[in-house]
Amino acid sequence: MKTQMIYEKETIAAICTGLTGSGINIIRMSGDSAFEIADRIFKSVSGKNVAGMGKFSVNYGYIVEKQTDTELKSDTGKIVDEVLLLKMQAPHSYTREDVIEIDCHGGILVTKKILELVLKNGARLAEPGEFTKRAFLNGRLDLSQAEAVIDIINAKSNLALKNSVKQLKGQVKDKIIGLRETLISKTAYIEAALDDPEHISLDGFTDSLSDEIKNISLELRKLIGSFDEGKLINEGINTCILGLPNAGKSSLLNALLNEDRAIVTDIAGTTRDVLKETVSLGDVVLNIIDTAGIRDTADVIEKIGVDKAKKEAENADLILYVVDLNEGVTGDDKKILEEIKDKKIILVYNKSDLVKGDHSIKESVDDITDLEKTVQISSLTGEGIEILKNIIKNMFYSGSIQNEDDVIITNQRHRELLIKAGDSVNNVLAGIESGVSEDFLTIDMMDAYEALGMIIGESVEDDLADRIFSDFCMGK
C-alpha cells in the first residue's frame, strides 16, 4: 500500500463527540467537497462564503435548511442551529484534506439533524476510524502513530496516556526507521559490491556487519522485552481476589474501590458469581475480579461460582490471596496456594481490626509456596491498604519506564513483527558464523527490513489496515 496525498474523492462526515446531551457536539467533514457542502448549509454572520474565509478560521453563523434552488441562491431558509464553523484547508489538517468542523449545541436531536443535512448535501457517513485512516494513507501519520490515537482514546491511566502520546509523536517510528536504515544500507553495500567487485570490496565486511547486526538484535530484544510491561500499562493488571469463604475478599474489593460495590455479610458463600471492576492506583490500573470463596460445596450455584473463580485465577496477572488473620493459613489454603504457586501472588492477611491484643501473622508462608509478598490489612478500617497498593506497584513496575527515552511496546501486532524481524536477524548472525556468502545474508536482512516496515505501515495489506481502523470510534 503506497502513501498518497489524496486518498479518494468522496467526502466523509460523522459526529465526532459522544451523542449525549452536552454543551456542544461536533460534526466533522473531510474531503474535496467539504467546503462546498458547508456553503450549502452554513450562513455566516459576516456574509462570507466558505471560500472567502481564512484558510484556518473559526466562523460564527447558522446552519440553514434550504428548501429550493431559489432559496439556495437567495441564501434564505429555515434556521436549524446557531453554530461555529471551523475551516481547515488541505494539506494542513488532520487528514491532509479540506476539513470542516461544525460546533453545534449539544442536543441529540439537533446534532443528528445537522449530520442529516451534511449527508443530504453530498457527504458520505464515515466508517469507524476513517478520518485517521485517511491521515495514514495521505502520509500525515505512520501506522504506529495511527494506532497510538486509539490507545490515547482508551488510556486507563496517566502512564498509559503518556506512553501513547510518545508513540503518537513518533518514538516507535523513529526507532524502527533507524533499525531499517542500518539494514538497508548494509544490504545495498553488499548488492553494490556483488555488482562491481573491482571497485567495491567485501574483504572483512562480515566482521563489521556482525557487530551491526548484533546491535540490531540487542535493540529488538529490548523492544520485545518491553511488551510485558507495556501490555500492563495499556490494558491494566488482571487481578484476581481469591481465598476461602468469609476471608474478606469482597470487603477487600470494596476497600480498593473505596465504595460498597460487593455485598458483604458474615455468611460464608455470599459471593456466588465473579464481580469485575477497574481501579486506578495512580499510574497503575487493576482490572479486579472478586470471586466466590473456594470450597467443596453441594450447592449447584455456588459450585459454578467456585469453578469460575478457578478459571479466573488461571488467566490472572496477579492474585490477591485473602486469609482471615484470626484463622491463619489453613490446610485448605495450602492446597489452593500449591495449585497457583506459579502465579504472582500477594498473601493478604485480612481482619486485623478483629484481633485482640498483640497478635501477628500466625504462620510463616515460606513453607507454603514461593510467595513474593505478604501484607496485613483491615478492609474495614483501611489499615494496610496503602501498603498493599505500593507492593503491587513495586511488583510490576521497576520505574525505568519513567525515562522519556524508553521505547515501550504495547501493541501485540508490533511484538509479533519484532519477533519475526529478530528471527531473521538471528539467521543473519548464524549465516555469518557459518561463513555463507554475502548474497545469502541479504535475504534474511531484507526479511527483517520488511517485517519492521509493516510496523510503521511501509508495507501493509488493505485488509490489515481495515481491521486496525475498524477498532476506532465512528468520528475519529
Model confidence at 244, pLDDT cuts 50, 70, 90, reads confident
Q: What is the pLDDT of residue 400?
A: 45
- Tell me the CATH number for domain 233-400: 3.40.50.300
Q: What is the pLDDT of residue 173?
A: 93
Domain parsing of the chain, residue ranges: 12-142, 152-226+407-457, 233-400
- Tell me the CATH number for domain 152-226+407-457: 1.20.120.430
Q: What is the pLDDT of residue 234?
A: 84
The dihedral through the CA atoms of 135, 140, 146, 149 has a sign that is negative
Contacts of 339 (CB under 8 A, 6+ apart): none
Q: What is the pLDDT of residue 433?
A: 92
The number of angstroms, rounded, from the C-alpha of 100 to the middle of its chain's C-alpha atoms is 28
Q: What is the pLDDT of residues 273-298, one digit of tens each?
A: 457 888 887 777 888 887 765 545 44
User: Which of 16 and 7 is assigned the larger pLDDT?
Assistant: 16
Q: What is the pLDDT of residues 221-238, one digit of tens each?
A: 999 998 988 888 888 888
Q: What is the pLDDT of residues 358-372, one digit of tens each?
A: 555 545 444 554 455
Query: What share of the chain has pLDDT > 90, as a percent?
Result: 37
97 pLDDT above the threshold of 50: yes
Asked if 340 contacts 317 with a C-beta cutoff of 8 angstroms, the reply is: no
205 pLDDT above the threshold of 70: yes
Mean of pLDDT values over 377-390? 86
242 pLDDT above the threshold of 60: yes
Helices (H), 322-384: 331-339
User: What SS3 class is residue 29?
Assistant: strand
For 448, counting Cβ atoms within 10 Å of its Cβ (0-12 exposed, 13-18 middle, 19+ buried), the class is buried
Owner of C-alpha cell 460523522: 14
Q: What is the pLDDT of residues 299-331, one digit of tens each?
A: 444 455 555 667 777 788 888 988 888 888 888
Q: What is the pLDDT of residue 157?
A: 78
Model confidence at 151, pLDDT cuts 50, 70, 90, reads confident
Options 3.40.800.20, 3.30.1490.20, 3.30.1360.120, 3.30.365.10; which CATH number does 12-142 get?
3.30.1360.120
Q: What is the pLDDT of residue 292?
A: 62
Helices (H), 42-170: 69-74, 108-120, 130-137, 143-154, 158-168
245 preceded by a cis bond (ω within 30 of 0): no
Strands 42-44 and 284-290: unpaired
Arithmetic mean of pLDDT over the chain: 82
